[in-house]
A = this chain, B = another copy of it.
Amino acid sequence: MAPGAFKMRDLTEACGVSDQAVRLYERLGLLEPVGRTAKGYRLYDASSVETVRFIKQAQRSGFILEEIKVLLRTDIRDEHACEAMKVLLDRKLRTLTERLVELQGMKDVLHSLRQACEGEPGPLCPAFLKLCVPHCAVSDPKGARPLRRR
């Protein structure tokens, strides 16, 4: 067992993920063990911990595993690959920004709704649908997908 290398359990404890998740990342091509023991046990090192943490952080930020793979695999010497990453980053930055605006909007709505709840314990609350729906109507029909599917 190479110096500084450790087995599955240490990795999962360092990162707060399950061993199954780690093996899933491997199957999907996001994380390769640095080696195997003679008996076939996966070996990891500090860089593996970094990688898994990066995966989790990127996930929390709305990247899916397939996209994170692109992020992780981009070879800096490959002009073409780099370009793909830039595209991905730009796309994500855009949706991230939209998402932030949207969440902030809903936070405001929930906040005032919560306030209303706190007031008179009666006729204020039922207005909650009315309180929210106008906001929905204003924001253009994002969820709108092309219908007419038959």
Contact = CB atoms under 8 A, between A and B. Distances in A.
Interface in A130-145: 132-133, 135-137, 139, 141-145
A16 B144 contact: yes
A39 interface: no
Nearest to A141: B16
Interface in A14-28: 15-18
B125 A76 contact: yes
Copies of this protein, total:
2
Interface size class of A (residues with CB under 8 A): 35 or more
Contacts of A97: 107
Q: Which of A12, A82, A123, A147 has the most CB of B within 10 A?
A: A147
A89 B76 contact: no
A133 B54 contact: yes
Interface of A: 12-13, 15-18, 50-51, 53-54, 56-62, 71-72, 74, 76, 79, 82, 85-86, 89-90, 92-93, 96-97, 99-100, 102-107, 109-111, 113-114, 117-118, 121-123, 125-126, 128-129, 132-133, 135-137, 139, 141-145, 147, 149
